Structure 1
């Protein structure tokens, strides 16, 4: 394997070097436009972190505007910030945006914003956070953990976004925008290595074909040994072998008509997921009277003891074509056509002990989406009218093989068709000189058609358990709903904005994947938010504050155990809190940033939680418990310093980060083994840039204290957990030409 890695890495570097030579030759005595946005700085460096916040442009309201002018809380990262802080997946993004939490749980991405979003791994269950790549919705939670690459910008929108983004966004939306082709020839590469024998390399080339057509090609390769050890077989788990790429085209076929086409591919092989008995006070299967000595669990967070051979594969392809036509002055027609194609295949042991309980699953998903919108802009009014259609076909073949004493081997055969159609409108009106009134409505129709069959293996062969006699194997649900927002924004001055907004969010109904006729109701959120966005001290200080209240009805909650997956609705939950973001640049070379989230998120009605997590298999009433993954306090504090080495010697930048989090619940019940205690983690970066900024050398370390952090908890007469990555570190070389 080592020789294979060296060969592939060498081939990739050779390609990168060739592109660099070509770029350098073409750049002879001319200015090459950098692929990444930059800012003029007194010391000659071009780095986004030194810019004022208003220089970051976002499209949160489906039009380009300063992040400081958007009447909603937005965490915005341009390409330079993404590169500097090594945001290569949602785990990294969550460390940079307090209040956003992400972990992989039961082979699916568990993401929440402001406490809304529970682990959802069933076939038709979707996240409460909408994920978009180049305007295309990615609904597959199993794809959320895939690495992101060649990013041009990331936007994290907090709070219900049910007007302009209709696909299940009761908690918020995360927009990933890929890097665009450049108007002049440019190329670059990144190569890095680190602990766990990790190797990561990528390269891109971007070039104009003529004055109306530009193309960009990006490819990457990544390897990493596993950070979890199966002490029984010697297999490394949670390793990574990844390949990805994107081909991008920008064109202007006619005056006033632009086309953007993107096709991306990412595939990963990894042995996992790994679940482990992590709490000796509640050993696995203790409630069933099985001796711990017989099971021989390994309570180390990064070790399991199972005879199962783990394997895993996941792949996601995303394609989009965006047509923009200027119909008249201030009138634009826009079309976004998109598709996703995903495949997930895993074999893993649910228990992680000598008493093996392997699960094998093969899931496939194909989606198609089409959005049409008409945008109007004038001196007094901005408006958008649009329509949206989404379709997903999903299949799942899942086999669970428990020990004979705990039940028969079972197989789930699921096929589902999910459709969504909606129409929406949104308007912002200027009242007077500085007062903006805004509001919008969206009508949505959600339809799910599912066929679910469950078979049990018996000595006589495969026997159909579900559907039983007299039960229709076709499960169908249709629901109509109206969402919207209404608010006002006041420009107190050129540098100070205040706003108030009310919004209503919605997530549609569906069915679980392992319980016949287990349908669940829609989830709705009523939200009220007020905020301040301000800049002072010649825009060297940016202070943004928001306070919010969310009232949730029929919160969709998924209870995951080896016995099956049940989806239900908790009647009521409520959330209130505040967020503060501060950026200070006292001098050009020194910068401080802080983001703090204060949250009070509680289940607010009687509901009996997962009995599998109780020592005596007795369900707990969750009223008053914290919502899942909702710490009362979380935050990030960072500091950067630039050391100018001289006019021709380059720039050295030091950055340190401190992440802090109070304790929070992983599940709806509250036991010592379902609570992650409060913790702090530290990250550090040292970056050297040459004077011409063509070469960057960066060293980095994340989770310096090597804190073992729970990512999710299963229950089955014991506590089974999966953990976030331990300490990682490395060095990387970046070239741009």
Structure 2
């Protein structure tokens, strides 16, 4: 009783104290990535708790302590610690590419082929997949098609974010940080019991900074960022076999970092506005206004789970509403040539029912039904005039099943399949032309099987082979009028690997080959408006691996790397751009042959090295230090291979001191080499343009945990 009274007082205090928050999501389908007593990582990549070495696919998993230690504060930072993945942040929108599979399409109804799940709930919108990591328990990055268990739009892989579940003891955390560019971060969470069988958690977060670029003519701050969000969970346990988790959240992100974009260089390539001023400082721009991208959303979910003596039944219901508004300067210079307004309002309802085995035995199984309903409203204006207004609708259903059978004590076979069917509609109107309105419909379906073989070499080591297929549904172009739907993407993947885990060493190595069909791409028309199309096909192969050596209980080294070779097949109708001759300037757009060109946003080599040292002193205080090095060999931004990101390296570091009362003080630095590299590139008829990533930053953080 004393514990419950104490928890109630703390709940009241936190409700008053925290006025900002972080996005709230649903209860996880299973316990997230954790460390077992023998340093074995527990993951849920196959939607059940398993040791990482027993999972026949490539998984990179981090718990909360590892994320904090490596300076990973948001989903956009995952590339720093995960080889084989690149992330482009285009103004409050997250675009991840895993092993060459990603998307450049930003429009209503356009989902990423790298599916993001937060506590089991699919986050369909790219507009609200960027969020800072408060109250996060773990993140798992699944590489390769996940079409059987995670369904549509997971051809490249999946990112599973798990937040902390409400605890039965009072726990909490408060953190505050200040850094370069007047960056302020404040956040915290509180979790504990309310009464017998009922517990709850509340998390809140706020971030604000003045940006790292300026407008050279108007002296205004650009690349600014502001985020606030709040999330809460209520866990009801009416009996030992039953749990009900209710979740709700609200959040807002104002991010102009990916759209504060400047023309590259000078002369005819820079702009079609003759004589336009282009600052020589790469972190200064010259625009006619301050571009912005605002995303906000709210949602809720209900998970009901009951164990019927060996068979677990679960229902997960979720609803999300997101809004995105952006205003961008498409000519990239201080000339009022082309200003584009985009609005995307999205409503998504999902329902999933699953049955799964819960008792140990030679046969483990899972089956389920899934329903998805999405509506989007996407008007686009150019210089204040309506270009097109799209009202899109998607309705999808799926049935899936998968089982793992222990053929021999050392040999397991996993087989599964999913059938998906989807209908899409696009009703459009425009201000002028014939016709003024149009409506189109399209239906897509796919079978996505998986077969895995796992052989236990010894109690600490496994080898495996997996065949899987992924499916990304076709879609309509929301920013162009009257076009038919583009075809679905499909990926057939073959992967083999070796995994080893002991108290001192963890080693995971895999090799893979992908047959990638009907790639969906985005290009720009003469007015800078987005157009979608299918490339033909691509071939991707590579090697992925990570090695962790726990030299002492206090000292750990992790080395990870990936080699990825991805090229387009026959692609003779690719969108190309070439510099226009003076005095016209800008670019000439034409159709070219991209056959054999490298896939965009696909560096051949990525890698990272992390060194961590944590030690308890004789007086009970603790010291910690972490350094992370990241390497990227460079990649093509565009299919014509003309605009490229050169190779670059980044270094992050943090030093901390923790008192016995759990007050932790940290000094940190990000991009300590002050490397200049792009977080996004846009090539249009107006210009070649780039948004640079954040330069060197540093600051201090104070954290109190209990």
Instruction: Indicate whether 1:698 and 2:662 are aligned.
Output: no
Aligned partners of 2:164 and 2:92: how far apart in 1?
Answer: 29
1:393 to 356, 375, 380: 375
Q: 1:729 to 1:300 in 2, by over 3 A?
A: same
Q: Show the counterpart of 1:29.
A: none
Superposition pairs for residues 256-295 of structure 1, below 5 Å? 256-271=241-256, 273-280=259-266, 283-286=269-272, 290-291=273-274, 294-295=275-276
Instruction: Indicate whether 1:151 and 2:136 are aligned.
Output: yes
Three-state SS of the structure 2 residue aligned to 1:588 is: coil
Superposition pairs for residues 27-38 of structure 1, below 5 Å? none
Contact 1:666 1:676 in 2 (8 A): yes
1:433 to 393, 409, 416: 409
Q: 1:545 to 1:234 in 2, by over 3 A?
A: same
Q: Show the counterpart of 1:24.
A: none
Contact 2:70 2:626 in 1 (8 A): no
Q: 1:312 to 1:571 in 2, by over 3 A?
A: closer
Q: CA deviation at 1:625?
A: 1.3
Residue segments in structure 2 that go unaligned for 5+ positions in a row: 1-9, 19-30, 581-587
Q: 1:243 to 1:233 in 2, by over 3 A?
A: same
Q: Show the counterpart of 1:609.
A: 574
Q: Deviations over 1:261-295 (max 9, x none)?
A: 22122212344621210233663335xxx52xx21
Structure 1 range deviating more: 182-191 or 439-448:
182-191
1:708 to 672, 676, 682: 676
Q: Deviations over 1:436-485 (max 9, x none)?
A: 10011000001111112233xxxxxxxx23xx34x971111111111110
Q: 1:430 to 1:705 in 2, by over 3 A?
A: same
Aligned partners of 1:449 and 1:336: how far apart in 2?
Answer: 26
Q: Show the counterpart of 2:595.
A: 623
Contact 1:280 1:299 in 2 (8 A): no
Q: Deviations over 1:471-503 (max 9, x none)?
A: 971111111111110110111111001100000
1:411 to 387, 390, 395: 387
Q: Show the counterpart of 1:544.
A: 508
Contact 1:645 1:652 in 2 (8 A): yes
Contact 1:642 1:651 in 2 (8 A): yes
Instruction: Indicate whether 1:515 and 2:501 are aligned.
Output: no
Q: CA deviation at 1:724?
A: 2.0
Q: Show the counterpart of 1:73.
A: 58
Aligned partners of 1:516 and 1:17: how far apart in 2?
Answer: 48
Contact 1:285 1:716 in 2 (8 A): no
1:568 to 524, 533, 539: 533
Contact 1:396 1:415 in 2 (8 A): yes
Aligned partners of 1:38 and 1:492: how far apart in 2?
Answer: 24
Aligned partners of 1:587 and 1:187: how far apart in 2?
Answer: 30
Instruction: Indicate whether 1:485 and 2:470 are aligned.
Output: no
Q: 1:604 to 1:159 in 2, by over 3 A?
A: same
Q: CA deviation at 1:654?
A: 1.4
Q: CA deviation at 1:546?
A: 0.5
Q: Show the counterpart of 1:339.
A: 319
Structure 1 range deviating more: 588-597 or 103-112:
103-112
Superposition pairs for residues 305-704 of structure 1, below 5 Å? 305-328=286-309, 330-356=310-336, 357-377=338-358, 378-401=360-383, 409-455=385-431, 464-465=432-433, 468-469=434-435, 473-518=438-483, 519-536=485-502, 539-561=503-525, 562-612=527-577, 615=580, 616-648=588-620, 650-671=621-642, 674-691=643-660, 694-704=662-672
Q: CA deviation at 1:347?
A: 1.7
Q: Show the counterpart of 1:254.
A: 239
Q: 1:322 to 1:146 in 2, by over 3 A?
A: same
Q: CA deviation at 1:711?
A: 2.1
Contact 1:278 1:299 in 2 (8 A): no
Structure 1 range deviating more: 261-270 or 657-666:
261-270
Aligned partners of 1:368 and 1:281: how far apart in 2?
Answer: 50
Taking only aligned residues, the RMSD between alpha carbons, in angstroms, comes to 2.4
| Bigger relative contact order (CA 8 A; separation at least 6) | 2
Q: CA deviation at 1:63?
A: 0.7
Q: Show the counterpart of 1:57.
A: 42
Q: Show the counterpart of 1:719.
A: 688
Aligned partners of 2:32 and 2:241: how far apart in 1?
Answer: 25
TM-score by length of 2: 0.91
Number of equivalences: 671
Q: CA deviation at 1:398?
A: 1.8
Aligned partners of 1:645 and 1:235: how far apart in 2?
Answer: 48
Q: Show the counterpart of 1:6.
A: none
Contact 1:381 1:429 in 2 (8 A): yes
Q: 1:174 to 1:38 in 2, by over 3 A?
A: closer
Q: CA deviation at 1:637?
A: 0.6
Instruction: Indicate whether 1:171 and 2:136 are aligned.
Output: no
Contact 1:547 1:577 in 2 (8 A): yes
Aligned partners of 1:146 and 1:79: how far apart in 2?
Answer: 15
Three-state SS of the structure 2 residue aligned to 1:320 is: strand
Q: Show the counterpart of 1:405.
A: none
TM-score by length of 1: 0.87
Structure 1 range deviating more: 301-310 or 180-189:
301-310
Contact 1:543 1:580 in 2 (8 A): yes
Aligned partners of 2:506 and 2:141: how far apart in 1?
Answer: 18
